[in-house]
Structure 1
Amino acid sequence: MSTATIQNPPPMPVLRDSFIELTARERARALLDAGTFRELLGPFDRIESPWLPLQGIVCQADDGAVIARGTIDGQPAVVAAIESAFQGGSIGEVSGSKIAAALELALRDCERGKIVRPVVLFETGGVRLQEANLGLAVIAEMQAAIVALRRYVPVVGVIAGMVGCFGGMSLAAGLCSYLIATKQGRLGMNGPEVIEQEAGIEELDSSDRRRVWQMIGGEQRAATGLADALVDDDTHAVQAAVRDVFARGVPAAHRTEQVAEYLERLARIDPANVTPETMRDVFKANEAATPRKEQ
């Protein structure tokens, strides 16, 4: 009895380590050099929201925000990761204060000549409605810290999915020196459900997932230059992208400093013919890399 041999066996499938499926704590740990993860104000410190129990909502001991210190490529770093599984990643007084304070401490180190690399992992629908005014206040503090920090070091944001990044936190993301996104990620000021609720289904059908991702998905945001790197949902790919953008240095001009250029692009848009394709035509990513300042 002869044994048949397979001359050209089919290639083995490439197994990916999903970044999206990780918890906020696991994501923060994954981006830091092995063995350097150290959490600040973790669950055992029990810094909880004082407002949620008043409305019958069970708290989470870290309020849905993980702050970790460690190193990235041997350089001091701080990672702020938002947990989408708690209140949709919404920002309240405690979670927002943790992120703002972490950025402010990094700023203080940078001002003293000790550069700390800041990374924010956005996974949030924006401000927590139960703590609206307090949440808005701390988001403003985050934004101020990002603007101050980016004079010294690139501030890197990551939008992986599936919640995306909306509301006031989308403005914080827009202030980052670099944004990294997956195809599953989304970025916008208002979420699809909010647009449909306020403007009607004729304006946007939030159940049309294909249309939603065509408009505000990670691939579209990268194609229109509002994200700087598009990566697969793979932990190693995200790690590499974060290290790559830090290696680029501080941009010579951040997106938020290019007001005249963006106003000129907006003037070229026909409001009667706004499609994903026309947006790419007007807001296409620069073909050449933007010049960088030395750190």
Structure 2
Amino acid sequence: MSTFDAATAAPFAARESFIELTARERARSLLDAGTFRELLGPFDRITSPWLPLQGIVCQADDGAVIARGTIDGQAAVVCAIESAFQGGSIGEVSGSKIAAALELARRDCERGKIVRPVIVFETGGVRLQEANLGLAVIAEIQAAIVALRRHVPVVGVIAGMVGCFGGMSLAAALCTRLVMTRQGRLGMNGPEVIEQEAGIEELDASDRRRIWQLIGGEQRVATGLADYLADDDAGEIRRAVQEAFAAGVPALHRTQAVDRYLALLARVDTQTISPGEMRVLFGSAATGAEPARTDR
């Protein structure tokens, strides 16, 4: 007889997978119950003017959901990217929605009304069909994060299987705090791009175990490049986001610690360093401990 009985299964049955939720459902799950209010939703029909010219069917929200509501009773805005549309890529409209939402939150904060911002990343980066416009608006998102994080923590969530890459990985890095699942991935270039450009000798994109060792959520948290490792459970991710806001604005953001990271990079032997050694070296940046040298 199986030992996996109803009592054992109960905790798992009560969980709701965050990864399996749509962007709209993710935003709703992060906000206090009954407070979700979508801005520029599908019925506003603000779509990309460029995709139809290339024979691509638009999505009514252009793959970005912007929702206002509250988190722990405090005003909040959630920007959630939909991976099911064009791989979560950022175009002129979707990127402008995110940048504008962050700008409005900044204006509210400057007037003394704090708005808690959350960005749910699920994106390969810029939408190639709108390359220049997409790159420009990603830069606007990055600038908006830097301006906003002076007033309130900007919290990023990377949970799903698409991960966060390209210019949007820089936007994620600029966030005050990052919540990741073990399934999530964060990197400047995706594995397929690295293999294509540098060859399979550099990285085998089919070696899933190796990829998650290098850029998976567990590794990113262990190396201090993300802050909270959560299971794929909507409730747990919501609690991690709440904790991230409760911690307040840090005296020094991760991206401001330039000298610290340059010193750590100087210790890296790129030919021989292992994921485990990266944890020892970069994990020390988060704890303030003095790392052992890893160059050989």
Write the deviation string for residues 180-237 of structure 1: whole angstroms up to 9, x where unpaired.
Answer: 0000000000000000000000000000000000000000000000000000000000
Give the AA of the match of 1:157: G
5+ long unaligned stretches in structure 2: 290-296
Instruction: State the SS of the aligned residue for 1:141.
Output: helix
Q: How far did residue 282 of structure 1 move? A: 1.1
Aligned residue pairs, count: 282
Instruction: State the SS of the aligned residue for 1:134.
Output: helix
Give the AA of the match of 2:185: R
CA 1:77–1:287: 2 relative to 1, 3 Å: same
Give the AA of the match of 1:11: A
Q: How far did residue 252 of structure 1 move? A: 1.1
5+ long unaligned stretches in structure 1: 1-8, 290-295
User: Partner residue of 1:271?
Assistant: 270
Query: C-alpha separation between the residues in 2 aligned to 1:107 and 1:34?
Result: 24
Query: C-alpha separation between the residues in 1 aligned to 2:257 and 2:177?
Result: 14
- 4+ residue runs of structure 1 moved beyond 6 angstroms? none
Q: Is 1:94 paired with 2:90? A: no
User: Partner residue of 1:5?
Assistant: none
User: Partner residue of 2:23?
Assistant: 24
Residue identity over aligned pairs, in percent, reads 78
Q: How far did residue 30 of structure 1 move? A: 0.4
Q: Is 1:12 paired with 2:8? A: yes
Instruction: State the SS of the aligned residue for 1:250.
Output: coil
User: Partner residue of 1:114?
Assistant: 113
Query: C-alpha separation between the residues in 2 aligned to 1:12 and 1:275?
Result: 37
TM-score, normalization by structure 2: 0.93
Query: C-alpha separation between the residues in 1 aligned to 2:42 and 2:225?
Result: 34
Instruction: State the SS of the aligned residue for 1:206.
Output: coil
Instruction: State the SS of the aligned residue for 2:225.
Output: coil
Query: C-alpha separation between the residues in 1 aligned to 2:120 and 2:8?
Result: 32
TM-score, normalization by structure 1: 0.94
Q: Is 1:206 paired with 2:185? A: no
Which shows bigger deviation, 200-209 or 267-276? 267-276
Which shows bigger deviation, 264-273 or 149-158? 264-273
Write the deviation string for residues 100-148 of structure 1: whole angstroms up to 9, x where unpaired.
Answer: 0000000010111110000000000000000000000010001001000
Q: How far did residue 278 of structure 1 move? A: 1.7
Give the AA of the match of 2:246: A
Query: C-alpha separation between the residues in 2 aligned to 1:115 and 1:146?
Result: 14
Q: CA RMSD in A?
A: 1.4
Q: How far did residue 288 of structure 1 move? A: 7.1
Instruction: State the SS of the aligned residue for 2:283.
Output: coil
Q: Is 1:140 paired with 2:108? A: no
Structure 1 residues 144-159: aligned runs within 5 Å: 144-159=143-158
Query: C-alpha separation between the residues in 1 aligned to 2:38 and 2:44?
Result: 11
Write the deviation string for residues 70-92 of structure 1: whole angstroms up to 9, x where unpaired.
Answer: 00000000000000000000000
Structure 1 residues 206-225: aligned runs within 5 Å: 206-225=205-224
Query: C-alpha separation between the residues in 2 aligned to 1:272 and 1:41?
Result: 48
Q: How far did residue 11 of structure 1 move? A: 3.5
Which shows bigger deviation, 58-67 or 272-281? 272-281
User: Partner residue of 2:44?
Assistant: 45
Give the AA of the match of 1:155: V
Give the AA of the match of 1:116: V
User: Partner residue of 1:293?
Assistant: none
Which shows bigger deviation, 226-235 or 264-273? 264-273
Give the AA of the match of 2:25: E
Query: C-alpha separation between the residues in 2 aligned to 1:283 and 1:61?
Result: 42
Which shows bigger deviation, 279-288 or 38-47? 279-288
Q: Is 1:170 paired with 2:166? A: no
Q: How far did residue 12 of structure 1 move? A: 2.3
Tell me which structure has the larger Cα radius of gyration.
1
User: Partner residue of 1:187?
Assistant: 186
Instruction: State the SS of the aligned residue for 2:7.
Output: coil
User: Partner residue of 2:124?
Assistant: 125
Give the AA of the match of 1:77: A
Query: C-alpha separation between the residues in 1 aligned to 2:57 and 2:155?
Result: 32
Which shows bigger deviation, 76-85 or 262-271? 262-271
Q: How far did residue 271 of structure 1 move? A: 1.9
Query: C-alpha separation between the residues in 2 aligned to 1:205 and 1:45?
Result: 43
Q: How far did residue 10 of structure 1 move? A: 7.1
Query: C-alpha separation between the residues in 2 aligned to 1:25 and 1:117?
Result: 18
